[in-house]
Amino acid sequence: MTKRSLALLMLALCVNVAVQLPAGVTAGPTEDVQAAMQLLKAKATALGPPSIRGEELVAGRTVPVLYFGSTKMNNNFQLVDEIQKEKGGTATIFARSGSEFIRVATNVKKDDGSRAIGTILDPKGKAFAAILKGDSYFGDAEILGRPYITGYEPIRGAGSDVIGVYYVGYARD
């Protein structure tokens, strides 16, 4: 089975599980985060393997260009907006730049209503510490001064090194 067909199978399973919830039953915050994360990863995987190729400007910062297959993620909001449309909440793709993880595709908004591209994953947060160890983080996090229930998972390159981060989250009211 090819990676693409495996990714499509994963996507179909995620959609199938979501469709089978009984009428009137809604998932809780933790289940919502898990479902959104699985969908984000499945859709990204369906595009192809992740890689870093070159650099470009994102919100005035020179950052590595993250690809899934031949699809460039930097300044490309299609994937994160699909997740938001299908699952609600917010989604982000971070690219690793040295010791930072920079939002290169996101629907997280800054106070002025613009997308928070070019901003960094909080280096003092629990998610950052987990990702640096190659682990996932699911739990509460503050994003740009607002509380969220979140999920963060490493994006690994061909050599299994962490080249970016998947993020999904729902604002806490």
Cα–Cα dist 50/33, whole Å: 22
Q: Using the 8-state DSSP alphabet, how is residue 22 labeled?
A: P
Q: Do residues 117 and 130 lie in contact, with contact meaning Cβ atoms separated by under 8 Å?
A: no
Over 50: is that where the pLDDT of 25 sits? no
- Expressed as residue numbers, the domain containing 99 is 3-171
The pair phi, psi for residue 18, each rounded to 5°, is -65, -40
Write down the pLDDT at residue 20: 36
Give the per-residue pLDDT at 27: 43
> Which helix or strand (DSSP H or E) is residue 50 part of?
strand 50-58
Q: Is pLDDT above 70 for 46?
A: yes
Q: What is the pLDDT of residues 82-139, one digit of tens each?
A: 999 999 999 999 999 999 999 999 999 999 999 999 999 999 999 999 999 999 999 9
Domain containing residue 26: CATH number: 3.30.450.20
Domain total in the chain: 1
Q: Which of 88, 103, 80 is nearest to 32 (CA)?
A: 88
What confidence score (pLDDT) does residue 7 get? 43
- Predicted confidence band of residue 173 (pLDDT cuts 50, 70, 90): confident
Residue partners of 145: CB distance under 8 A and separation at least 6: none
What is the per-residue pLDDT for 23? 32
